[in-house]
Structures are given as structure tokens and as C-alpha cells.
Amino acid sequence: MAATLTKSRVDWTGIVFAVVLTIVIVVPLLVVGTWAFTNVWRYPSVIPQEFGLRFWNQTLARADVWSSISMSLTLSFTVTALSALICLPAAYAFARLDFPGKNILFFSFLAGHAFPKFGLLVAIAGIFLQLNLIGSFWGVVLIQLVGTLLFMIWIPVAAFQAVDRRMEEAARDVGASPLRVFWSITLPQAGPTIAAAILLSFVGTFYETEGAWLIGAPQVRTLPVLMISFINNQPVIQYGAVLSVLLWVPSFIALLFARKVVNSGSFARGFGG
């Protein structure tokens, strides 16, 4: 009876939260989406006078948009590949092997998150200035690589540790080689979480603005950096709106694939929750 009563009660608190959050979170993004598909929208009309794709053609005809898309993709692929190459073996080592100073080395990756980020970037830029890395592709790669280290080690470590060791031992007992065990037992179990970490790393790099702006600009112009100049100097609102929609594509893919990892407690615990 009590359960029935509880079930039939209207969740007013939830409704209030849902309505307020929808207005605050969703409406601003819907407005940007609407601008992207608008040909004419003059004040004080509440809805656009003319919908259309005219500004998509104009935006996609711009050389600076294509060069920044290609720069962003090249940077993100390079940083993600490098970070997977150096972090995944390290994550496996932290999860499975024993070596001197393991704990202190593991926690050393927190250092990058223990300082105000832009202050740290300025300190790094001071060193890059002496090394002639300011305004260079590899300077931006290095800055963004540092940003991915914590995720690309901590999340895969958790994934490797969550693998059922008894299954691995059972496979070894029936004669499977270590490589075969890794390929057939360890990877299928740890793989999805590692894939989510790689995806988060790619998306994080794709949207990284501060390092790319401080170290790379104006020679290395990524999509977010181009977006800053569109916001500051571009009177045509639709250019920024179309670029926003284009920019959001990787995030949308990440949203589809990484929600499980983000919703799990381990993600919040990674931030100290």
C-alpha cells in the first residue's frame, strides 16, 4: 500500500529541477542550433523570418574554416595516438606489475591538476619560449599531451584492475600463452573502458582552447581558436553558429559512447569525489 502511494505521488521536486535545468542547459544550445539554420532573423521577431542553409554554404566555403578543421583533427589524432602509445603500457604496468616507487609515480599524474591550469600553461610557455616551441605544432602537441595523461592512465588502470583475474588464470591453466590471454580475456573486458578513455582524450584535445591559443596562435589555428576570433570579430552571427554545430559533432559522439563511464562512480572518484 505504502509503495503504491509513493509511486502514485507526483515528483514535484523532480519536475521543478527538470524544467529549470531544461531552460538553463538546453535552451541556450537550441538557440545556437536555430541560428545555424537561419537565413534571416531580425529583432524583435521571436522566431526567424527565414530558415535555410545559406550560411552553411558560406561558412564551408571559407578556407580558414577548412584549415582549422584539418589542424584540429591532425592535432587531436596525433595527441590521442601518442598518449595511447605512452599511457596504455604505463597503465598496464601500474595495474599489474610491481616496481619501486610505484605509488608515488602513480600519484605524480595528479600534479597537473593540483595547480590553476592557465597559470601552469604560462609557466610551461616560459620554458617553450626558450626552446622556440611557441607557435609550433609540436609545442601544442606537448601541451595537450600533458592534459591527457591523467585520464589516459587513471581510467585504464581502473579498467585493467577490474578484469577478473580468475578467468585469466583459468585460461593460463589450459595452456593459453600470455599474449593469447591478454587478447582473448583481458582486452575484451578492459577494452570498452579504455576505448571511452581514448575517446574522452580525443574530445578533450579537440576542444582544448587555452594551450592552443597561448602556445600555438596565430600559426597553429584550431577550430576553437578560430571560434574565438569569430566571436570577437565576426559580425555575421550565423558563421559562429554553424561553426558551433560543426564543433559539437565530436562531443555528440563522445556523449553517445562515454556516458556509461561518466555516470559510473569511478569517474567522479577520479576527481576525488
Partner 1 sequence: MTVSDQIGSATPVRRRPFGLLLVATPVLLVAWLVIWPIISAVIQTVWVPTPDGGKTVSLASYSYFFSDGYSLSNLSMTLWTTGVCAILLLVVCLPIALYLRFSNSKIAAYVQGLAIFPMFVPSIILSFAFIRVLGPNGTADLLLNSVGLPKIRSPYLTPWGPVIGLVWDNIPLTVLILLSGLGNVSNQAVEAARDVGAGKIALLWHIILPRISNSILVAISFAVLGIFSAFTLPYILGPAAPEMMGPFMQRTFRELLQPNTAITQAVITFGFCIIFGLFYVRSVAKNRTP
Closer of 53 and 253 to partner 1 (Cβ): 253
Closer of 130 and 175 to partner 1 (Cβ): 130
Q: Which helix (H) or strand (E) holds 127?
A: helix 117-130
Residue 50 phi/psi, 5-degree rounding, is -145, 120
Supply the minimum distance, in Å, between the C-beta of residue 20 and partner 1. Answer: 9
Supply the minimum distance, in Å, between the C-beta of residue 84 and partner 1. Answer: 11
Supply the minimum distance, in Å, between the C-beta of residue 70 and partner 1. Answer: 18
Q: Cell triple for residue 242?
A: 554553424
Nearest to 69 by CA among 213, 191, 246: 246
Q: How many CA atoms lie within 13 A of 75 on its CB side?
A: 32
Supply the minimum distance, in Å, between the C-beta of residue 157 and partner 1. Answer: 6
Closer of 184 and 251 to partner 1 (Cβ): 251
Classified as helix, coil or strand, 72 is helix
Closer of 24 and 61 to partner 1 (Cβ): 24
Closer of 66 and 115 to partner 1 (Cβ): 115
Angle at 151 between CA 158 and CA 124, to 5 degrees: 145
DSSP assignment letter at 51? E
Nearest to 94 by CA among 84, 83, 85, 103: 103
**Cβ proximity of 133 and 139 under 8 Å:** yes
Supply the minimum distance, in Å, between the C-beta of residue 5 and partner 1. Answer: 14
